Amino acid sequence: MNSHERLKQAVEHLQNENPDLRHQHIMKEMGYASVHYLSDVMNGTKPITPKFLGRLVRIGINKEWVSKGKGNMITDKKNMARPFSRIKDVDKAIMAVAKHLAEIEAARTKRPVADCLADILLAIL
């Protein structure tokens, strides 16, 4: 198994442990803006850089395991769960704010709330 395959396995493990976890959550916790970068690294179209390896610890993945296959895949289960433990709460809060903003925008523009909500959600994704 190569490093890209090990990374993919580790990310899948994180997602199995945290069913609501998405690539965007992982990349945000690692300090990256692009969601696609993770997919590109996992499928081998982008290299696994030393910087990327160093940031894996933020989500509880052992960089030595990814790069060399040595040690345990997960460095610390507590560290792994910490960043993602409140994803549902944050997603609900974002949705509540988006709905509120959509209602305000709908009243202002006389457009349907659903259309305004769709525009807001597309803008933040």
Express each pLDDT in 10-42 by its tens digit. 999 888 887 777 888 888 888 888 878 888 999
Question: What pTM was computed for the model?
Answer: 0.62
Residue 16's nearest CA partner among 8, 4, 24 is 8
Residue 88 has pLDDT above 90, yes or no: no
Average pLDDT, the chain: 84
Are the C-beta atoms of 33 and 26 separated by less than 8 Å?
no
Distance CA 67, CA 49 (A): 10
In b/e form, how buried is each residue of 102-114, taking b as 16+ CB within 10 angstroms? beebbeeeeeeee
Q: How confident is the model at residue 109 (pLDDT cuts 50, 70, 90)?
A: very high
